[in-house]
Structure 1
Amino acid sequence: MTWISKLATAVGLVLLAHSCYSAQEFSSFQVLRASATSQPTLSTLPVDITIETIAALLITTLGLVLGTQQLKPIQWRVWAGKVEREGRDGPQSSSDEPGNNFIGNPFRFLESRPGFVDIRRQRKNFGDWARVGGESK
């Protein structure tokens, strides 16, 4: 989390705690007033406490959202392409740690199987064949 997100989360939590305390104090004051006058009072929470609570929740949510990590790709081909571009060394930043069993290219096992068709090599061979005019060797 960056310092901005930590600050926003802290400020939001302090505001939320204050609004909860204010609501509790207002509630206890209403009970005290009802017992003194022996008339039931049905009053709603003041608008300033309600606004403070909503603002505190929004600020806290903003701080938490700003502090989250970057989302990982959902599609396998996007993730595999990213991993393949990064090579055996893996991601360079510490936030993208893949774990202990990181092997680099996720398709390496499939490409090393005996009898597996190497599409890239076939595409290169076809490109070479098409450049020379499509003549058989």
Structure 2
Amino acid sequence: MNKNKNLKKTTKHNHNASKKRNKLVFIGIILATLGMAGVLLTNAFFKPALPTADNVIDISADMGGFDKQEIKVKVGEPVTIRLRSQDNSHHTDGGGKHQWAVDEFNVSVIAQPLSAATTTFTPNKPGTYIFYCDICCGGRANPSMSGKLIVEG
């Protein structure tokens, strides 16, 4: 009879240990799945920084304006503008698109929502010129959606 009691205790103990182990395995699987989902979502929404060079100018735009209000370049040297829209397509004013344009050099680039676009041009005369976004937020009349391109000789 004593042997039978010990067997019941051992069986009950093994069953409880098995339940705890199963719970831990289940929690581990859930945490691993959530971790993988986090990595995949991060890579999908946050693109890695692109390499820059002396002639590449990175500019971000959102509903609050450009992150740079003044840009200096050299006359006769090609310049690449990489414009990144920080806004999503749910914005009713412009749909999340942004533009970087300078009329005097006939240059314009439009970045789609949460994307980047590039354009390359060579400024051929020194001076101070206005760059702007005319898609949203009051367009070129809005001081935060415009800035100065200074071309030095």
Which of the pair is proportionally richer in helix?
1
Normalised TM-score (structure 2)? 0.29
